Amino acid sequence: MHIPVVAGGAEYDVVVAEGLTGLGAALAVGRGPGRCVVVTNPVVAPLHAARLRAELEGAGWHVEQLEVPDGEANKTLATWEALVGGLLAARVDRQTPVLALGGGVTGDIVGFAAATVLRGVPLVQVPTTLLAMVDSSVGGKTGVNTASGKNLVGAFHQPILVWAALDTLATLPDAELRCGFGEIVKHAVLAGEEALATCEALAPALVARDPAALARMVADSVRTKAAVVADDPHEQGRRAVLNLGHTLGHALESVCGYGVLRHGEAVALGLLGITRFAEAEGWLTEPSLPRRLESLIAALGLPISAPADVDPAALARAVGYDKKRLRGMLRIVVPYAPGRIELRSLPLDEVPTLIQALPIDR
């Protein structure tokens, strides 16, 4: 399946494929095989790098391979600097494709290095987590974390190709797969009734890792993200709807401690929370949405309530620090119904009411 993306003056395909076969030839179109650099990490390298190299070499590419350390804690300027050094030592030029093989952490770091080395070299995303396939590899946001917060340094750099090889998911732990489900539910709510109903119908098959169900959901999800990104490549306005569930989600992640709740789990909870808030405020035009989302999130194996020991006051403080804050108001993304999502401003003194809507294991 080829999904065209048009964003920020760039046009590229997201290919949702059974495996890696065909990637080397697709990359050679218009530029011929030459040198390329694969950047991966120590977890993914032994699982999938040899197959990727064989695919590329089979299509005539000469492949250099580099690694960045694994894990969110290594999504830093130091890792970026070391990678830029490695790319320069590998003598990349402005025509040398750099391929990011791994999850969103690797994709974000490699993307930022590709955006900055020589002021930009061609980037290919080869996402190997479900989250990276449906979210981080599409849309051109790249970057690293700093002591001041997550993703505060980065660049918009659209890839020239995204290749989601579904067979790489075979080695992905269930907990990481579930994180991808969190973003898939978010995209389904953004897309509308039909997408949400499809997601509901496919939930058992997704949990069972049915290949056809995964292929369908990844493609649907990418289409939704691509459509939003196309309208607003540099996040001036409408792209902010992609933060649905993330205001509460980010707060939960930081208060519970990164690693206690994974990102996709926190997003699912944040989505439930903001939907219940919309219900309490009388904004919903589809009254069944909170119940439907709770059933779907549970069916996908994601949590439907936050840990009992999470402190609501700490959550309120964390929400107040959210970077979406603007002139004393909090920007929130509110679902009124599937496909009907609006940005609203919430006075900061109403944040405790928002927190109350969050399901907590009491």
Ligand X SMILES: NC(=O)c1ccc[n+]([C@@H]2O[C@H](COP(=O)([O-])OP(=O)(O)OC[C@H]3O[C@@H](n4cnc5c(N)ncnc54)[C@H](O)[C@@H]3O)[C@@H](O)[C@H]2O)c1
Using CB under 6 A as the criterion, which residues of the chain lie in contact with ligand X when the complex forms?
Answer: 41, 43-44, 47, 70-72, 75, 102-106, 108, 128-129, 131-132, 135-136, 139, 141, 150-151, 168-169, 171-172, 176, 179, 263
User: What's the CA gap between 136 and 150, in Å, rounded?
Assistant: 14
State the Cα–Cα distance between residues 112 and 108, nearest whole angstrom. 6
Residues with catalytic annotation? 119, 141, 183, 225, 235, 239, 243, 246, 250, 263
Q: Which is nearer to ligand X, 228 or 274 (CB)?
A: 228
Q: How far is CA 348 from CA 321, 324, 330, in A?
A: 10, 12, 6
- Min dist CB 266 to ligand X, Å, is 12
Report, in Å, the least distance between residue 217 CB and ligand X.
Answer: 16
- Cα–Cα distances in Å, from 341 out to 141, 143, 335? 22, 27, 4
Are 115 and 155 within 8 A, CB to CB? Answer: yes
Kindly tell me which of 123 and 357 has the beta carbon lying closer to ligand X. 123
> How many Å apart are CA 204 and CA 271, to the nearest integer?
20
The identity of residue 216, as a single letter, is R
Burial 82-104 (b: 16+ CB within 10 A, else e): bbbebbeebebeeebbbbbbbbb
How far apart are CB 219 and ligand X at their closest, in Å? 18
Residue closer to ligand X, measured from CB, 102 or 249: 102
Nearest CB to ligand X, comparing residues 53 and 141: 141
Tokens of 119: 């002021």
- Closest contact distance (angstroms) between CB of 156 and ligand X is 10
Q: Which is nearer to ligand X, 127 or 273 (CB)?
A: 127
Of 117, 145, 36, 298, the closest CA to residue 290 belongs to: 298
| Extended beta strands in the chain, E state | 2-7, 10-17, 35-40, 62-67, 98-102, 123-127, 141-146, 149-156, 161-165, 325-326, 329-337, 340-347
Q: How far apart are the C-alpha atoms of 223 and 76, rounded to whole Å?
A: 30
Q: Closest distance between ligand X and the C-beta of residue 81, in Å? A: 18
Nearer to ligand X among residue 106 and residue 224 (C-beta):
106
Task: Give SS3 for 335.
Answer: strand
Least Cβ distance, residue 70 to ligand X (angstroms) = 5
Secondary structure element (H or E) that encloses residue 27, with its range:
helix 23-28
Of 254, 287, 250, 280, give the one whose Cα is nearest residue 267. Answer: 250
